[in-house]
Each structure stands twice: as C-alpha cells, then as structure tokens.
Amino acid sequence: MMAADATTQLPHVASTWTSRAPAAVADEPAMPYACRCYDFVIEAVLMGLLCLFGFAGNSVSTVCLWRDRSTSATPFLLVSLGVADTLFLATVFAVRVLPSIDTFAWPLPWLQPAVPYLGKYVYPTAIVAETGTRSANVTQQQQQQQPA
C-alpha cells in the first residue's frame, strides 16, 4: 500500500514538516523536515559527540597504558584495542559525521571533491579497524580466561 501524501494525512502541519529543499529528481518527493532533523541529530550531533568523546577517552587510556611496565600482555592488548578503536572512530567521523554536517547544517566545499575517496579508501579502513577492534577484544578475553 502506498503512503499518502503528507498534505492529505496532516494538512495543518504539511507546510511545517516538508522540506523546503528542492527534490533531487523531479519525480522524487522532498525529504520531510522531521526526517532531516532526525538524520542531523543522530548522524551529526550524537555520532559526532560519540566520536569526539571516544577519541578523547581512547587517547587518554592509550597514553596511560603505554606507560604501564607490567610483564603481562594485558596493557599491550588494551593499547592495541585503543588504537584500533580510535582509527575506527576517526573513519566513522569522516564517512558519516562530516557528510551529514555538509548535508544538513553547514556546507563544506572541500568535502565534495573528497566524497568519492571516502567511499573508496576511508570506508575500507573503517572495516579493517573494526576487525582489529574485534580481534583485540577476543584476544583480550582469551588471555583473561587462561589460568595464571
């Protein structure tokens, strides 16, 4: 069943909840304003804050654990986890947060020429970093389960 037009469903808020931006294709309807706000809040604000706080927390823990002089493998594995996680957060920031800011908030003219490279080079880096994060987690859990 096809969804009805916003003006027939909610005529009193149709002018408020539809995007004022022109549609990308003549036959394609404009994205509703509520969807644009939701995308901006989730992708730019929340994901951006998570990336920034995660980057700061991982940096602090990596520096502290780097100075640990214990003979166990735990600090090394946690440093590896922090580095892989920071790389993943940096790529998420580049692939998701910056394009969302460009689309919904402030135009970033330098981003448009870089978009093809984000998909070709940065996204695979995010996948490699995610794999490194998962393998460091598994290795850490295995190391903790071994008897001393």
Task: Provide mean pLDDT across the span 94-101.
Answer: 87
Q: What pTM was computed for the model?
A: 0.67
pLDDT of 8 over the 80 cut: no
**Percentage of the chain lying above the pLDDT 90 cut:** 14
Residue 85, CA atoms < 13 Å, CB-side half-sphere: 22
pLDDT of 7 over the 50 cut: no
Task: Provide mean pLDDT across the span 61-75.
Answer: 84
77 close to 139: Cβ distance less than 8 angstroms: yes
Q: At residue 62, what is the residue type?
A: T
Q: Which two tokens stand for residue 71?
A: 């003979």
pLDDT bin (cut points 50, 70, 90) of residue 27 is low
Domain boundaries defined on the chain: 30-145
Better pLDDT: 126 or 7: 126
pLDDT bin (cut points 50, 70, 90) of residue 25 is very low
143 close to 77: Cβ distance less than 8 angstroms: yes
User: Rounded to 10 degrees, what is the CA torsion of 62, 48, 106, 41?
Assistant: -170
What was the pLDDT predicted at 51? Answer: 94
Q: At residue 121, what is the residue type?
A: Y
Residue 129, CA atoms < 13 Å, CB-side half-sphere: 17
pLDDT bin (cut points 50, 70, 90) of residue 123 is confident
CA dist 14 and 97 (Å) reads 29
47 close to 32: Cβ distance less than 8 angstroms: no
Angle at 140 between CA 139 and CA 145, to 5 degrees: 95
